Amino acid sequence: MTNPLAKLLRVIPPGTHLVIGGTMILGAASYIQISVAGHALSGDPQQAVSELWSLVMTLSLGLFFPIEQELTRVVAARVVRGEGVAPVLRRAAALTVGLLALIGLALALAAGPLADTFFGRDRALVWAFAASLAGMALVYLTRGILAGLGLFDAYGVSLGLDGLLRIVLAGALFLAGSHSALDYALVLAAAPLVAMLATLRTTLRGCRPGPPMPWRELFQNMTMMICGSVLAQVIVNAAVITTALVTVDKSLTFALLSAGVLCRIPLFVFGSLQPTLMTGLSTSATAGDRAGFRRMLLQTCAVIGGLGLLGAVPAVFGGSWLISVFLGAKDILGPMDFFWFSAGTMCYMLAMVLGQALMALGRHRWQMIGWLLGTAVLVAVTVAPGPVATRVEVAYATGSLVTALCMLLALVRGVAQPASGPTNYGKAAASALENA
């Protein structure tokens, strides 16, 4: 079997196919949410929901997905050593709640300007935004534990239930004739919260007592991971947010959101690989399995290349028609708009994989540097002269490309400085880095 799907199925560990199914449902839910909102709303409410969706994705993935990734790495390493992970859950829960409290305070202080800038002066959407971040934060917390423990069936159920609820709730609002931006915004809060509650018992059952976890073990890489993740989300969501800030053309903002979502279909598929990939890379690095580490990394990059090409062809040649019919966007974008989005998505996925490899090896600083350089390029291209749509699209592609190249250089050449990860896998990580 040489096709991309067959390679994908060989890369993931056995028993994790529910993760793919759950990710497919969650990815489809994103399209259905935007499609339903695009047909049910218009004008300011439509733009407010599109901007809220982009902001939720930017901040939740930027701030809380790193917690999931680090939990996966730490828990997987503890499992290899035969240690319980209950102390890890307690520390991570305290960190998550603390971050949510700080975000709530910041939103309370900036509710007025935030509502005026992004939400059509509707302050209720600010609190829907806060509730969405809370739901996403809590579900990422439980998914990090589940992935680290290898409980991928429950992980897949969490993803699938999250996506299914988004579809059902958005569809119910549409059938009920709702034209309220707040109603559609609250779907983003309710779905992940219910998914978290549904898998909470399984999460707690897998957390047996273990040796204490010092705060340093969780925090030593978290700052760099959050910085890198926030920058990554800035790169992938900057097109919509920047356009909303510099233009009053609501149709263009929604069209760019729709085009970006369409061209990120391969990214949703890749999402099914992320928990198993981090678990596999972390386990290989901890155990000193250099050949397994390199093989998993190379196979995943090959699969991403295939996924990127499969997603780019229909997007470039039929994207304008697709977003007009299925997402309710105006037909104002051309093939080159979709080309830049597709190219950016492929480079972005490669950067995500290479960044995870660096983190599994304890090289968190270098994945952050890669995203920092990519963001700098994105900003430089965005402020250059030219049509706003072209600038934000090319910025996404070039920023992602620069990030991937920087990370690849760090993996190929190695890093002279000592690894920033725990000492118990530092030597294995260094050896794997030299041979990756």
Q: What is the mean pLDDT of each successive set of 10 residues along the chain, which is 436 residues long? A: 50 60 82 82 80 85 85 86 90 92 94 87 92 95 91 90 94 92 92 95 91 79 82 86 76 85 81 64 71 80 86 92 85 93 94 86 86 95 91 95 94 55 39 36
- 183-229: per-residue pLDDT in tens? 999 999 999 999 999 999 999 999 999 898 888 777 777 778 888 88
Residue given tokens 């990756």 in the structure block: 436
pLDDT of residue 276: 64
CA 317 to chain centre: 26
Angle, vertex CA 14, rays to CA 350 and CA 17, nearest 5: 70
pLDDT of residue 342: 95
pTM of the model: 0.72
pLDDT of residue 377: 96
pLDDT of residue 301: 85
**Do 206 and 146 touch, CB atoms closer than 8 A?**
yes
pLDDT of residue 70: 83
Nearest-10 Cα torsion for 92, 96, 99, 101: -130
**Do 33 and 166 touch, CB atoms closer than 8 A?**
yes
pLDDT of residue 393: 94
- 126-161: per-residue pLDDT in tens? 999 999 999 999 999 999 999 889 888 899 899 999
Residue given tokens 């049910």 in the structure block: 40
- 381-412: per-residue pLDDT in tens? 999 998 889 999 999 999 999 999 999 999 88
Residue 388's CB: how many other CB atoms inside 10 A? Answer: 17
pLDDT of residue 266: 85
pLDDT of residue 397: 96
CA 27 to chain centre: 11
pLDDT of residue 422: 41
**Of 410, 432, 285, residue with least CA distance to 355:** 410
